[in-house]
Structure 1
Amino acid sequence: MSTAPSQVAGLSGLTSAEAARRLGSEGPNELPRSAGRSVPRIIVDVLREPMLSLLLVGGGVYFLLGERIEAVVLLLLATLSVAITVVQEARSERVLEALRDLSAPRALVIRDGESFRVAGREVVRDDLLVLEQGDRVAADALLLIASDLHADESLLTGESLHVRKQAAREEIPDRRPGGDGQPYVYSGSMITRGNGIARVVATGGASEMGRIGQSLADVGTASPRLRRETLAIIRACAAAGALVSLLVILLYGLMRGSWLDAMLAGIAIGMSVLPEEFSVVLAVFMAMGAWRIAQAGVLTRRAAAIETLGSATVLCTDKTGTLTENRMEVARLWAPGAGWAEPAGAVDQRFHPLLEASVMASAVSPVDPMEVALHAAGSGAVGKQANGRTLARGYALQPGQLSVSNVWDDEDDRIVAAKGAPETIASLCALGADEHGAMTEAVEEMAGRGMRVIGVAIADHPLGPLPDSQKEFDFRFLGLVGLADPLRATVPEAIAQCRRAGIKVVMITGDYPATARFIADQAGIRDGELLTGDEVAALDDVVLANRIRSATVFARIMPEQKLRLVQAFRRDGGVVAMTGDGVNDAPSLKAADIGIAMGRRGTDVAREASTLVLLDDDFGSIVKAIRLGRRIYDNVRKAMAFIFAVHVPIAGLALLPLLLGKPLLLGPIHIALLEMIIDPVCALVFEAEREERGVMRRPPRDPHEALFSRRMVGWSLAQGLLALSLLGGIWWMAMEQGLPENEVRGLVFFALVGSILALIVANLSSGPRSGGRISRSLLIVLAAVGGLSLLAYLSAAVRAVLNIGPLHFADVAAVAAVALLLTALLAGLKRVVPPIPRPDQSR
């Protein structure tokens, strides 16, 4: 806006200094959000990890033993471990915070006597908002000036009718959304007509939308099941490790007499048993999973959604803007006596009055998708009737009067153009029985093709005072306009993918049954019956639970009925994903296992109630998220199986020499180095692992299936014991050959590294891989591990710190043989006993 409305209205607004003060004292104009973890908080949490404590104690014991180099190395490894973890988790927090920060709407405010735009979150109480057609209201405000101002408050009230606003008078009513003649506008509502200036009375959580959002935010959400299960396993392993460590310290101290060495042995055993990678893997996978899903156009607000995506059995979606493009276009015209026409190319002149009147009955600068489409279709038909005229008055939608009219004047005469529901327009025109019958037949024909149908009429009226109601004009019926909202091109294939994946797609819409069925057929939702809102209301919960099993389309559904449908699907044993955008959708989004809010047209309240936010409002993005959710869960399971398996040979090699009275093989420094391999492998290789072939051709995962199932634990133990047996064999053979202690330790240590790489390969895929290609992340890890191993092999200083001897050619051959043999044995074992049963994965 180029000129400051303050100059016209005589209003100067707040000063910039006062606005800044209020923003600081009252907070930004946004719904409260849970605070992320700061870097100091992350450091404190990392310092509490048991593994770090063991490393620090181990370093202290080495100092007491006089092994200062080993002590410094161990402390450096501890510092490096802290730094890596802090950097990873801090990046995760930044990624998640950036993903949560959806772009806020901007507002035109008057401050210091000038108008300028600010971010919606910077609007404060007593700011003056300049409102024009098409604006989204940034905060609850009291109208000081209003010129033919109408607002769409459906996001708050669920009512589709636009409401008329008026400037505040001496007696100001209580704030209450809905109803005509109010002086209030509300945060999240849309100005559909006119303009005005309003003073902000409530922002953020104090607004009408904010109150609902806060009440929903207060509802507690359960901790993600994966996190609960992982923490339980870690606690159990920590308790077992602590008990074994104490026993080792006692036995070593009593049997060998060196209590400091006993402490080192106990610490090594504790470190080898404790699977502290579990929590790191889960945190990294959830953060990176949220980022990957965001690349598909879906914002993840809660980690639990990533877990649940692979279990979804029912996907409830609305129509407009999700299955369709939310972009109306005029598809068909019908006029009495002229028949049918399609507005592609030149339109017969007989339909020009119909198109011209539809444009004249719309806003001059349209925002509503339907009116934009009417302007586009009628641009070539607007002729002398509209040219040179001025808009004298508009009549808005009223309860029971589903039509709008615009009055256009010039110096000589007056024309009134009306559009609205066909039945309402027919009533205004007082159509006879035959005319009404012909119109009804045309309406049914268009609705059967999925079109939204409006009637159009025109009237001549003398200059002078205007009546209070549209009904007092003498309208002539011009015809019908059919508008289509095109189906998104990606929808049919996305729904086909859902069907192949065992997910039932259900369309829930407020449209007429004929329109809903047409769009559903186009989208590929052809099976199943259609239920209307009236039919749903007439069914009790038991009967409804039976009917929904065969129903796939629900038409003329009210927002409150969505909640009942979600509850019915869940009672029937389904894992339900539900889309929604309005405040009235919030209860059903909260009740669903996966609530999916619309990012473009949705409210903040709907977002707060949801677990996912669809950034592009595209149904295809939901299917992509489900696909990624299945991939992420598969990869978490592979990483956990690897961690379980790899700790078996590490713990066995730390404990076996002690039980047999032999020199210790692994100390804290060796296990710390191995952890430097294991952590990046879990975070880098397994997280980046490609999806299983046929991931969307298998049924949804049982939501009650344990991650650490007996089969998974058994497979991990089998892998670990097989690796331990090979490593134990090579250790025993080296001892029998009389090799020096440090050479035996070097041989077993490098063989253990090779075995870890074999376990990585074994766990990377539980089924065939597409093309069998090695991922880039695996190549990076193999190169890094190979380089570090070569450094340790060639550097006498590194060997001295690790207390390992040089490897001879026969030793290198033995290390390679162990790694290759273990890889072959695990591959054969997988063919005989698949680690995780899969349905047919063929494409």
Structure 2
Amino acid sequence: MLIENKNIEGLTSKQVQDQLDKDGYNELPSQKKRGFLAILLEVVKEPMLLLLVCAGAIYFFLGERQDALMLSSFVVFIVGITFYQQRKTERALEALRDLSSPRALVIRDGVRKRIAGREVVVGDIMVLQEGDRVAADAALLESVNLMVDESLLTGESLAVTKSVWDGKRLIDEEHPGGDNLAFVYSGTLVTRGHGLAKVLSVGLNTKMGKIGKSLQVIGDEETLLKKETGRLVKIFSSIGFVLCLVTVALFYFFKGNLLQGVLYGLTISMSMLPEEFPVVLLIFLTIGAWRISKHKVLTRNTAAIETLGAANILCVDKTGTLTLNQMRLRTLVVAGGGMLDLAQHNDQNLLPEEYEELLEYSILASQADPFDPLDKEIKKTGEFLLRSTNHLHSNWKLIKEYPFSENLLALSHVWELGDGGRYVVAAKGAPESIADLCHLKEDEKKKLTAQMEPLFSRGLRLIGVAVAAVAKDKLRDYGQHDFDFEFVGLLGFEDPVRPSVPAAV
């Protein structure tokens, strides 16, 4: 079922230009690029490197050109590798920004147009389809089975369902992450269904833009290492300066030669300067940035390496950080109460018949070419485990789809078998909604709840599955609640912990 343009004309070209003049382009202000001189100035401001530069200048003044050249080579080397590392990081970030810039399908002058996301304006009508990255904050005018992954804003890996905007609710009064909200947000991903949405906010006025704006007010602070090295430089410089003055005074008092006293004083003070400190510290920080880049972590400022190394308590988000942010089918529970842990199942063995039927109907209730992570996992695991059975039906024809609704979190697919006078209806959704479709009695619902509780305690996400049959001549008059559904079982999904987490913790 596709959403048509109907009588929606969208904005005119003049209205679009007026909105662009008023609000500007739909983009977040990028951080100013740092050139060679900016990076050089940032590196040279390090106290230890200033010490190195001063030492080289003094050696040159004293005529020790070999020592001055050696220290100058250290300076060039440190600046060179720091510049290379930071430029490499900035180029990678620029490439990521280019890749993350979405394109949008909008209706303007009554025609659908694919445009760059930065050209979307307030008032545009966006056409949302499975796999689209939402270009701006918008209110849903129409929705068919629409689900959106909002993990970019909330950290939750599970997609949320959407409902149609009533024209009264305000976008500022609601927040991303809940089911049946009427708003979609910039940067989120459509995982299922399609819809039409009217753009309400662009650029810095979107939820993502407000997050970026709040981060801009955070200023840089000196790290503990920088403070300590600055303190060491002051101590050694003070001691060296005092010794220089004492040497000059004593040499002039006993020898009467002021110039020779100054030269001897500078030589003694130079011996107090730890020239190795800046070389060791800056090189090791840069090596640290290079090493973690091998693990796909970009370091824009090498001082972050020292801050990370000094952390003794690390607070992390679970979804996508400790876990893979990939839902895996882990447990099958059939109506009779049987339970199968797929992690302990030998893939070479066939499943018992009741578990094969559970996977069969869950595949039939999923999209044929899915984008939704749960549907993908059901299709991948189901087709693998049923590969040697007759429970896969590539020749069946999808006749009708009953989408999710605000009042019923379940969908149904009606399939034509190819022969006979009946259709097969496969349904899946929230266990409570499936129980409602199956018209379970109170004692049966309590039994189902008792089955679900230990699975919930293990952190599993549960989906119920049901099946029904209907005569072909009755389908036209049937809604989802009119089918005589039979409860088939439950699918239990988990977001696995990353393999590296136990050792890291």
TM-score relative to the length of structure 1: 0.46
Q: Which residue number in structure 2 is paired with residue 133 of structure 1?
A: 130
Q: Which residue number in structure 2 is paired with residue 675 of structure 1?
A: none
Matched, 1:463 2:464: no
Match of 2:35 among 18, 26, 38: 38
Q: Which residue number in structure 1 is paired with residue 53 of structure 2?
A: 52
Q: Deviations over 1:260-282 (max 9, x none)?
A: 43333333333332335434543
Deviation at 1:356, TM superposition (A): 3.3
Q: Which residue number in structure 2 is paired with residue 89 of structure 1?
A: 82
What is the rounded CA distance, in whole Å, between the counterparts of 1:416 and 1:351 in structure 2?
A: 18
Q: Which residue number in structure 1 is paired with residue 486 of structure 2?
A: 476
* Contact 2:141–2:195 (8 Å) recurs in 1: yes
What is the rounded CA distance, in whole Å, between the counterparts of 1:319 and 1:98 in structure 2?
A: 28
Q: Which has the higher helix share?
A: 1
Matched, 1:107 2:102: yes
What is the rounded CA distance, in whole Å, between the counterparts of 2:456 and 2:142 in structure 1?
A: 41
Deviation at 1:191, TM superposition (A): 1.1
What is the rounded CA distance, in whole Å, between the counterparts of 1:385 and 1:52 in structure 2?
A: 74
What is the rounded CA distance, in whole Å, between the counterparts of 1:433 and 1:47 in structure 2?
A: 75
Deviation at 1:225, TM superposition (A): 1.2
Deviation at 1:241, TM superposition (A): 1.8
Matched, 1:249 2:240: no
Q: 1:217 to 1:360 in 2, by over 3 A?
A: farther
What is the rounded CA distance, in whole Å, between the counterparts of 1:252 and 1:165 in structure 2?
A: 89
Q: Deviations over 1:635-676 (max 9, x none)?
A: xxxxxxxxxxxxxxxxxxxxxxxxxxxxxxxxxxxxxxxxxx
Q: Which residue number in structure 2 is paired with residue 601 of structure 1?
A: none
Structure 1 residues 96-495: aligned runs within 5 Å: 96-97=89-90, 103=96, 104-109=99-104, 125=121, 131-141=128-138, 147-153=144-150, 156=153, 162-166=160-164, 173-174=170-171, 176-178=174-176, 184-196=183-195, 202-220=201-219, 222-275=221-274, 277-300=276-299, 303-304=303-304, 306-309=306-309, 312=312, 318=318, 322-323=322-323, 326-329=326-329, 331-336=331-336, 344=347, 346-379=350-383, 380=386, 387-396=396-405, 403-408=409-414, 416-432=425-441, 435-436=444-445, 439-440=448-449, 442-443=451-452, 451-459=460-468, 462-464=474-476, 474-485=484-495, 488=498, 490-491=499-500, 495=502
Segments of structure 1 that go 5 or more residues without pairing to the other structure are: 63-69, 499-504, 506-843
* Contact 2:285–2:305 (8 Å) recurs in 1: no
What is the rounded CA distance, in whole Å, between the counterparts of 1:14 and 1:210 in structure 2?
A: 25
* Contact 1:157–1:177 (8 Å) recurs in 2: no
* Contact 1:107–1:123 (8 Å) recurs in 2: no
What is the rounded CA distance, in whole Å, between the counterparts of 2:86 and 2:320 in structure 1?
A: 34
Deviation at 1:156, TM superposition (A): 4.0
Matched letter for residue 326 of structure 2: N
Q: 1:96 to 1:235 in 2, by over 3 A?
A: farther
Q: Deviations over 1:218-262 (max 9, x none)?
A: 345643212211111112212222222233333334443444433
Deviation at 1:287, TM superposition (A): 2.8
What is the rounded CA distance, in whole Å, between the counterparts of 1:42 and 1:221 in structure 2?
A: 15
What is the rounded CA distance, in whole Å, between the counterparts of 1:359 and 1:390 in structure 2?
A: 15
Matched letter for residue 358 of structure 2: L
Where 1:395 maps in the other structure, the secondary structure is coil
Structure 1 residues 497-576: aligned runs within 5 Å: 497=503, 505=505
Q: Deviations over 1:156-213 (max 9, x none)?
A: 46786723244897x8954544577766421232213223465765455432022134
What is the rounded CA distance, in whole Å, between the counterparts of 2:166 and 2:313 in structure 1?
A: 51
Structure 1 residues 623-638: aligned runs within 5 Å: none
What is the rounded CA distance, in whole Å, between the counterparts of 1:305 and 1:485 in structure 2?
A: 30
Q: 1:46 to 1:286 in 2, by over 3 A?
A: closer
Q: Deviations over 1:597-639 (max 9, x none)?
A: xxxxxxxxxxxxxxxxxxxxxxxxxxxxxxxxxxxxxxxxxxx
What is the rounded CA distance, in whole Å, between the counterparts of 1:51 and 1:187 in structure 2?
A: 48
Q: 1:78 to 1:9 in 2, by over 3 A?
A: farther
What is the rounded CA distance, in whole Å, between the counterparts of 2:59 and 2:496 in structure 1?
A: 67
Matched letter for residue 163 of structure 1: T
Q: 1:316 to 1:151 in 2, by over 3 A?
A: closer
Where 2:238 maps in the other structure, the secondary structure is helix
What is the rounded CA distance, in whole Å, between the counterparts of 2:321 and 2:81 in structure 1?
A: 37
Where 1:480 maps in the other structure, the secondary structure is strand
Aligned pair count reads 471
Where 2:210 maps in the other structure, the secondary structure is helix
What is the rounded CA distance, in whole Å, between the counterparts of 2:151 and 2:496 in structure 1?
A: 23
Quick one: percent identity of the two aligned structures? 29
TM-score relative to the length of structure 2: 0.72
Q: 1:82 to 1:415 in 2, by over 3 A?
A: same
* Contact 1:142–1:199 (8 Å) recurs in 2: yes
What is the rounded CA distance, in whole Å, between the counterparts of 1:434 and 1:167 in structure 2?
A: 38
Deviation at 1:292, TM superposition (A): 1.0
Q: 1:28 to 1:149 in 2, by over 3 A?
A: closer
Where 1:133 maps in the other structure, the secondary structure is coil
Matched letter for residue 91 of structure 1: Y
Deviation at 1:288, TM superposition (A): 2.2
* Contact 2:129–2:192 (8 Å) recurs in 1: yes
What is the aligned-residue RMSD (CA, Å)?
4.9
Matched letter for residue 389 of structure 1: L
Deviation at 1:309, TM superposition (A): 3.8
Structure 1 residues 577-616: aligned runs within 5 Å: none
What is the rounded CA distance, in whole Å, between the counterparts of 2:250 and 2:133 in structure 1?
A: 74
* Contact 1:406–1:416 (8 Å) recurs in 2: yes
Q: 1:172 to 1:193 in 2, by over 3 A?
A: same
